[in-house]
Amino acid sequence: MSKNIPLNERIIFALDVSSHAEAMDWVKKLDGDIKFFKVGLQLFLAGWFPTIEAIIARGNKVMVDLKFFDIPETVRLAVDQLKNRGVTFVTVHGNDPILKAATQDKNGLKILAITVLTSFGENDMKEMGMTGSVGDLVLLRAKKAFELGCDGVVASGLEADKIREELGDNFLVVTPGIRPGANIEDENDDQTRIATAKEAFISGADHVVIGRPIRNSSDPVALIKKLQEEIKEGLSIK
């Protein structure tokens, strides 16, 4: 797997907005500096495939983050709907048969397995009756995804280093829950397992998914440039 990733594709901007028009406003504002965008549930339901096509038509890449979770055949057919549309990443969230079904006929798509959502913490593990740590669960799911033919995983920056140690570099690690250093302890944040962009890349991330910090910034482009400098620093240390 080639890892010659341009700096302007390292940040995947999360287009968590409510309309096609708002999404395209952000794409036009930012795609001089970043070339990778995430379309999640909210935007996909609002804009469907025309939004994805419009983003790609401007020379950008798209991560379709719908976290497919259903019986294996339904997941296989859902992935099939994304083929030949220019999509780069698609996320799947499930057990071994689900992941295996998703990878049967990728046809150029890269399948990313969700490990554990970054809003999920150690207390949640206890409430579900699990005795291990979140890190243990992430690593177990990452190993399974690798064995089943997934191209990578979505995992927090706190677990990326363990995934790299176990699985090496021939596997993608995409990291959400990224916060600028000054805002790392925001008490209103619904993400539990967070890291800075620099920390994520030191730990072995290939891409980081960032939404609200950029959207809420008074100068989104300036923040992107600052984050890209952090990423370069992290990559040089890695």
Packed helices 41-57 and 20-30: angle between N→C axes, nearest 10 degrees: 50
Handedness of CA 89, 51, 82, 59 (dihedral sign): negative
Instruction: Please identify which residue in the block is written with the tokens 């890349």.
Output: 201
Catalytic residue (choose from 29, 35, 61, 67): 67
Under 8 Å CB-to-CB from 216, ≥6 apart: which residues? none
CB neighbour list of residue 178: distance below 8 Å, 6 or more residues apart: 157, 194, 195, 196, 197, 200, 208, 209, 210, 213, 227
User: Is 144 among the catalytic positions?
Assistant: no
Catalytic sites, residue numbers: 67
